[in-house]
Structure 1
Amino acid sequence: MKKIKIAFILLLAIMVQQQLYAQGKKPNIILIVVDDMGYSDLGSYGSEIHTPNLDRLAAQGLRLKEFYNNAICAPTRSSILTGQDQHKAGIGYFDVDLGLPAYQGYLNRESVTLAEVLKQDGYSTLMSGKWHVGNDSLGWPNQRGFDKFFGIIGGAANYFNTGYMPLGGGKYPVIIEENNKRWHKPDDSYYMTDEIGDHAVKYLDEQSKSDKPFFLYLTFNAPHWPLQALPEDIAKYKGRYNIGWDSLRKERIKKQVELGIRDLSQTVALRDADVPNWDNLTYDEQQLWKSKMEVYAAMVDRMDQNVGKVLEELKKIKKDDNTLIVFISDNGAPAEDVAHGKIHAARNLGPVGTSGSFESQGKNWSFVSNSPLRSFKGALYEGGMSSPLIAWFPGRIKPNTIVTGTAHLVDLAPTFYDLAGAKYPAVYNGHKINPLIGKSLTGLFFKGEPINRDKPLFWELWGNRAMREGKWKLVSAFPTNQWELYDLDVDRGETTNLAAKYPDVVKKLSLEYLTWVNENNVVLDFNLIKPKSAVDIKIGQ
């Protein structure tokens, strides 16, 4: 009887969906992006962290084993927003102008945003969270197609106050604004993750009074450093990380196999040489490190709670039966230690987790977060450029689906436009627009069809280079610039360099890479444009 009831409910949901499409009702779209979260940091990807809302979306939807980003914040966000290679969009390096169009550090006008295209197609366009694709107010969200925006313009912010961030001995400006007006609350009177979630809920509530479909770009800055969290969330994880990163990594990798996220035939990345054995730390060192992970887990937990708020609002306004939700992270977990490095924050005015703390997760715990993958944010090994992807659309996406996928950020825009029936412009506001380069994922999401890509995937970041064609991945780390070759069908841990064994493959792929370089105005020798202050180039390699 119970099985019959479940089958009836599923059939009813499908019938409702079919009726909506028959009426020509455009679907709503929510894209959720988190900041600096590793591949294994959700429960549905192997974590012990409490993420019931995202895990529910995963159980009721689809997970990809392979989804690629651009390994760091601004370049990733440029591709998300435009469907372009980061260089074509103008952010080949970061939100810093290196003097060339491909590295100007802000979105160019030859690339249209998701909001600009969907707005032309009749959508309400809403954003809450982190922007980070240009600091000039002429290119802020409300000037690039968003009807409503609340959030952080730059790369990061404190979670309890709007003050500057003391990075590298200087003062990193923090701009938080709502619809082109500066936003400020008294210090320690709010928590930024909650503000981002609450503004998203408010915008959805206001939008529900309209007949328009909506696009919500929800971009949490969590769990990006500084490690700051609410006491009640930290309390949940007290003592959980006393076992250290060695044991925790084994736990997560074991759980990934049980979940079906990792195949036993696949390799696991080798231990990073800079990560010490937990048992070799002093008692005081262990206390500091376990506190860091307790706070990091609390930040991920609170982010998931705010996803839950959005899901509740979606149900309240009766839009949950006609909405696609996609969740990703902008890059892998980071290696930087901003409070203890040579170029450090010089600010720890309180214990880890408080508003005076400026700690970061660091390489040791990120080694766990990126399990079972190699390396960290900023690098073009799998750990730096691979993200979870969850897609949820009741009645359209088959529940608890796990597929390899091998998709990329540039595939999101074609997917959303395909779903919305939106026309992608050849010209916008007098500017000739770059064509889309990705592939719609609607066939993969709704029918389980493979992505038929006519060109490989390519990357360049800070002189690091990579490409993916079929099972082969070609990668090199700056400044060595030596090509390495990996067969990702069996070696996603990138443990065995096959370049010497297959020189013809390396030659073929490297020539394809050079063609891409020329087509996208990529600078082949990063030393020619490397900024003098680029102390972060080594981070994550």
Structure 2
Amino acid sequence: MASFRKRRMVCATAFVAIGAILSGAAPAQTDVGLTFKDSGPSHPPVAPHPSSDAPNIVLIMLDDVGYGQFGTFGGAVPSPAMDALAKEGLRFTRFHTTGICSPTRAALLTGRNHHNAGFGINGEMATGYDGYTGVIPSSTATFAKVLQESGYATAWFGKNHNTPVSEAGPAGPFNHWPTGMGFDHFYGFNGWGADQWSPVLYNDTTPVPPSTDPDYILNTDLADKAIAWMHKVQSTAPGKPYLLYLATGATHAPHHAPPEWIAKFKGKFDDGWDAYREKAFARQKQLGVIPQTAKLTPRPDAIPAWDTLSAEKKRIYAREMEVFAGFSAHTDYEVGRVIKAAQEQSGSRDTLVIYILGDNGASAEGGLDGTINELAPGNFLAAEAAVTTENLPKLGGPDYDNHMSYGWAWAVDAPFRYYKQVVSHLGAIRNPMIVSWPSHIKDPGAVRSQFLHVIDIAPTILDAAGMKMPESVDGVPQKPLDGVDALPVVLDGKTPEVRKIQYFEMMANRGIFANGWFASAKISDPWIPYRANLDPFAVKWELYNLDKDFTQADDLADVMPGKLQQMKDLWWAQAGRNNVLPIDWRVGTRMNPKPKDRNHYVLYPGTINYPELIGPDVRNRTWTATAKGTFNASDKGMIVTQGGVSGGWAFYLRDGVPVFDYNLMGIHRYRVTGSHAIPDNAKSLEMRFAYSGKASEQGAGGVVSFYADGKPVGKGTIERTLPNFISLTEGLDVGADYGSPVADYPFPAPFSGDLQSVTLDMR
């Protein structure tokens, strides 16, 4: 019997070994018998865990923030939470971003230059060139992936602008969503912006039903969810360090804020944007966040002097800034709650907080007058969407996708010139940063002036956690990091410059930094949506000595042509090395949804936020929506809708009567209502839209007709439609409205009857 048992043990051991070989893994246990009594001791798997002194990490990135926006860096918006963090930490005055949303975030997460990470431009404008795919390649893994595989708990709250447009739909794939890029948990939104009152949110990859709380607002929701996640991690695994990444939608348009926060700033900006910059400039020198020798850069020619404006324009513009300031102050408060919670519950584990005030400078995309809809210029509606005195009472509320005048974007970018997108100048790329690490920073309250870039954050975080980017992740060889470890700068203010060279490029606006010098070429302003006729080779290059000229005020190009040529040559060399070529200055034509080959869609209830860029295309054509099911005269609710408050359409029943609403970006709202209720037990409901324009005509209206089981139940006319975009931030929903409402129907309007499917046919 003993020999039998011995032979069985040998066989079992051999079987385990062979299985391990076939699976590609080394055998974990070689002394396995028939029972535990004649087996060796077991070795349970051990979860990966970092060193005991690895810190908790809180990484925060705000959106569209000017250098001179918040009080901590001299702005007029009080920021007590930032002030408190800066007092115990450090303020960085020469930190830089890529000048626009997706690229900065790709660079932040991967530690590679944005073109090397596939995001030379926002994903909505991606092309097939290597630097512009809109896809973070597997060869540029995120630092979060490294932390996750080393035992960190990881979570991302807020804005995700790095999932490819083609993969952002309800069917995925999801490997380029946050949960596929190194984060255990994601709660937030996809795309460049979100309605603060009615955002389209995801819990990991599952759509979140709209809130029924009348006081709901996104800033507060994100803070609540982030705090709850931290508490859960610390409650269930108190020894486990975490990475919390909070990327607010604020202060990107739409500028939404609770009325009481906006009211705090009534009358505060009546003296205008010129006065704002003068005051901010003086405060910045007092705070030491700019040198005493710095010069305030002049007003761009496109921006009128405040004292030349009419009283009506001053009233409009001042109110826009009050709304923006309320939005900003509310953001400081809510983010401050997250920071306070992290500091209070961290226990014995140290907490490193990195707070980046903006993924780029303030946005000038609202045009001169500001707008009730930031997408209006792309639909040739800029003039009609300009803010008027009639709009003022509702600015900041749920009815508009509002944005402020570019005069204020320039003002809050003080002391620099220009704004988001214009990466040739510091107003687009120099963003404040605050770093707090109490147990390691020996000079709290100090200012750091070393030149850093957003790509330097990934290696810095990994070093703080005692790690490095591996040569291979998930079997894929990794591109070297473009970022440099800036932890020595954090720990010692006397550390020499760690970054010597950095290029900048955004839609052919160009810049290059090298050893204190900066050369730049500006081709376009942000409020121009269609730029294909511009010539990037006709642009005049400028030259600045940033070691002596903090604000980029004195152009030396004419007196140092040899140095300028050297810098231009360096830019082209960096462009070739980093997948920047070919440069492409088009904007609107790259972003417009392309007509689809597919003209027939069968959709089912539960289809939520089907993105416009990959979903049904109803623009500039005749189309039909046909609902199948069993419908009665008592039914109500949404059948199918696309878009929301920023623009869109909705087909629904109101007490059995069919209704079609069309929102022309808040400028006009059209409604066609059926002549009578549908009959009981109808099996088919149709909304037919007959486009009235010619084949080459865009944005024309049409005739809406309703049918129940093929019999007419009413018709009416829509005067105009949207030619280029419906709503790039909200998709298509069936059976309910998961985004913001297109019109004033009960929201979220779940369908009350038996809706089985909706077919969309376009021709």
TM-score by length of 1: 0.88
Q: Which has the higher contact order (CA 8 A, sep 6+)?
A: 1
Answer yes or no: is the 8 Å Cα contact 2:98–2:504 preserved in 1: yes
Secondary structure class of the residue paired with 1:399: coil
User: What residue number does 1:177 align with?
Assistant: 202
Answer yes or no: is the 8 Å Cα contact 1:382–1:492 preserved in 2: no
Q: For this pair of structures, how many residues does the alignment match?
A: 501
Answer yes or no: is the 8 Å Cα contact 2:115–2:132 preserved in 1: yes
Unaligned runs of 5+ in 1: 1-22, 163-174, 536-541
User: What residue number does 2:352 align with?
Assistant: 324
User: What residue number does 1:406 align with?
Assistant: 451
Secondary structure class of the residue paired with 1:88: coil
Deviation (angstroms), 1:530: 6.4
Deviation (angstroms), 1:426: 1.2
Structure 2 residue corresponding to 1:461, chosen from 483, 494, 506: 506
| Matched residue type, 1:182 | P
Change (3 A) 1:66 1:344: farther
Alignment of 1:124-523 (within 5 A): 124-134=153-163, 135=165, 136=167, 137=172, 138=174, 139-162=176-199, 175-186=200-211, 188-209=214-235, 210=237, 211-319=239-347, 322-328=350-356, 329-337=358-366, 338-339=371-372, 342=377, 343-344=380-381, 351-380=394-423, 381-397=425-441, 398-453=443-498, 455-478=500-523, 479=536, 480-523=538-581
Residue deviations 1:311-347 (CA, integer Å, cap 9, x gap)? 3322432348611111111000011114376444777
User: Percent identity at matched positions?
Assistant: 29
Deviation (angstroms), 1:460: 1.5
Deviation (angstroms), 1:385: 0.5
| Matched residue type, 1:362 | S
Answer yes or no: is the 8 Å Cα contact 1:53–1:308 preserved in 2: yes
Unaligned runs of 5+ in 2: 1-50, 524-535, 593-763
Change (3 A) 1:359 1:68: same
Change (3 A) 1:102 1:64: same
Distance 1:507 1:151 in 2: 45
1:102 and 2:131 equivalent? yes
Answer yes or no: is the 8 Å Cα contact 1:201–1:310 preserved in 2: yes
| Matched residue type, 1:519 | R
Residue deviations 1:190-216 (CA, integer Å, cap 9, x gap)? 101111111111111111121210111
Secondary structure class of the residue paired with 1:151: strand
RMSD of aligned alpha carbons: 2.1
Distance 1:49 1:212 in 2: 37
TM-score by length of 2: 0.63
Distance 1:459 1:82 in 2: 17
Distance 2:461 2:95 in 1: 16
Distance 2:333 2:499 in 1: 40
User: What residue number does 1:53 align with?
Assistant: 81
More helix by share: 1
Distance 2:553 2:545 in 1: 10
Bigger CA radius of gyration: 2
Answer yes or no: is the 8 Å Cα contact 2:143–2:469 preserved in 1: no
Residue deviations 1:101-126 (CA, integer Å, cap 9, x gap)? 21011211111112101111211111
More strand by share: 2
Change (3 A) 1:516 1:283: same
Change (3 A) 1:435 1:181: same
Secondary structure class of the residue paired with 2:116: helix
Deviation (angstroms), 1:279: 2.4
Distance 1:387 1:44 in 2: 12
User: What residue number does 2:616 align with?
Assistant: none
Distance 1:451 1:531 in 2: 43
| Mean Cα deviation higher: 496-505 or 53-62 | 496-505
Answer yes or no: is the 8 Å Cα contact 1:121–1:423 preserved in 2: no
| Matched residue type, 1:472 | W
Distance 1:317 1:99 in 2: 46
| Matched residue type, 1:149 | F
Distance 1:25 1:264 in 2: 40
Secondary structure class of the residue paired with 2:518: strand
Residue deviations 1:117-169 (CA, integer Å, cap 9, x gap)? 1111211111111010124242110111111111111110111013xxxxxxx
Distance 1:51 1:223 in 2: 14
Distance 2:317 2:341 in 1: 37
Distance 1:389 1:94 in 2: 23
| Mean Cα deviation higher: 394-403 or 475-484 | 475-484
Answer yes or no: is the 8 Å Cα contact 1:334–1:362 preserved in 2: no
Secondary structure class of the residue paired with 2:303: coil
Distance 1:382 1:344 in 2: 30
Residue deviations 1:73-94 (CA, integer Å, cap 9, x gap)? 0010010010000011000121
| Mean Cα deviation higher: 455-464 or 310-319 | 310-319
| Matched residue type, 2:197 | F
Distance 1:531 1:159 in 2: 25
